[in-house]
Structure formats: structure tokens, C-alpha cells
């Protein structure tokens, strides 16, 4: 995401770029943070069996087991719940981000060319950010690696692809319903 920001000409610290879109940049920064966390949580879930066998204590599931004296199944469920909460938050943030983008553009009665150009760059960047999040969730669901290794251990199912698709369809329906009449 750093490369995408740089290639679009955005400052490294987006919220302090002097832009009148500071609130929008705060939301985008939260998306970046959540996407990074999603990558880390997925890596720990998918690699836990190997990490556990290798005695790697840097895995989040292992940390919960040791720090809170949790059984492996309880620690796994807690990390999986964190994963699903991140996915849910990203889905909700997408709508908020889109609303903020359009609100920012339309606050001015006559947006300048610079405002429109910045809006387009922001749109590209948010598309990249949410595209990464979508890809991570889809890969996690399609790969099923976490299910194959843990199927015989009585672990819960994670957010299924069907549930993910249903959430996305519901979100798209709600977005359509909220559009103003032309």
C-alpha cells in the first residue's frame, strides 16, 4: 500500500497532508491498519499447526495459549473471532469510506479541477486498499488450508465463502437503496 500511495503522489502521513479530506484520510488509514492486521491474523491461523509443532511462540494463537492459559481450541476460537471481526469491520468501513469520499467531493458547490483529480486518486487508492482486503478474505476462504489442518480437532468454521458473498450482496443492495433518486 505504501507503493500505491507513493505512485499516486500522496504524502506518507496521509492525515497531515494539508488536505481538506483529513477525515477521509483518517478512515483510509484505519483501513490500512485493519488490512495489515488481517494479513497477520490470517498468517497466524494458517501457520499455527506448523508453528506449534516447531515451538514458534510468535504465533498469536500460541500467545493467547501462554498468556491467558487457554486451551488450544479456545485460543484458536478467539483468534478466529478476531479475524471475523476484522472482516466485518472492513465491510462496514467500505460503505463509510465511500460516503465520505462523495460527501467530500460534493461539499463544494463547484469542485475545482484539483479537487476532482484528488478525488480520482483517492478513489483509486481506496479501490486498491479494499481490493487487497477482498482478495485476502477470498483467498482465505477458498484455500481452506485452516480447515484441512484443523478439521479433526473440533474447531469452528470461519466465515464461509457463502456468508461472505451474502454480506457483500447485502452491502451492495443497501448501497443501491441509499442512492438518491435521479
Using CA atoms, how far residue 124 sits from 15, 41, 70, 127, 133, in Å, is: 17, 26, 43, 5, 14
Residue 66 within a domain: no
The pLDDT tens digits for 60-113 are: 999 999 999 998 888 988 998 898 888 888 888 888 888 887 777 777 556 666
Residue 44 within a domain: yes
Quote the number of domains for the chain.
Answer: 1
The pLDDT tens digits for 15-61 are: 555 556 677 778 888 888 998 999 999 989 888 888 888 888 999 99
Domain that holds residue 170: 2-53+84-177
- pTM score: 0.68
Residues 6+ apart with CB under 8 A from 86: 34, 37, 38, 41
Residue 32 within a domain: yes
pLDDT top residue among 142 and 3: 3
Amino acid at each position: 500500500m505504501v507503493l500505491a500511495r507513493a505512485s499516486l503522489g500522496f504524502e506518507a502521513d496521509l492525515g497531515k497532508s494539508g488536505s481538506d479530506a483529513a477525515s477521509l484520510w483518517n478512515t483510509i488509514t484505519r483501513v490500512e491498519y485493519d488490512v495489515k492486521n488481517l494479513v497477520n491474523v490470517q498468517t497466524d491461523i494458517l501457520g499455527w499447526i506448523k508453528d506449534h509443532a516447531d515451538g514458534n511462540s510468535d504465533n498469536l494463537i500460541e500467545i493467547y495459549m501462554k498468556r491467558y492459559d487457554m486451551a488450544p481450541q479456545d485460543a484458536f476460537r478467539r483468534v478466529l473471532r478476531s479475524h471475523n471481526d476484522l472482516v466485518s469491520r472492513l465491510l462496514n468501513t467500505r460503505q463509510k469510506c465511500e460516503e465520505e469520499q462523495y460527501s467530500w467531493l460534493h461539499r463544494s458547490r463547484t469542485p475545482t479541477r484539483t479537487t476532482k483529480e484528488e478525488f480520482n486518486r483517492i478513489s483509486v487508492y481506496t479501490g486498491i486498499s479494499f481490493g487487497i482486503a477482498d482478495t485476502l478474505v477470498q483467498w482465505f476462504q477458498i484455500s481452506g488450508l485452516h480447515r484441512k489442518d484443523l478439521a479433526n480437532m473440533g474447531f469452528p468454521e470461519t466465515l464461509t465463502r457463502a456468508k461472505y458473498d451474502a454480506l457483500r450482496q447485502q452491502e451492495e443492495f443497501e448501497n443501491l437503496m441509499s442512492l438518491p433518486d435521479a
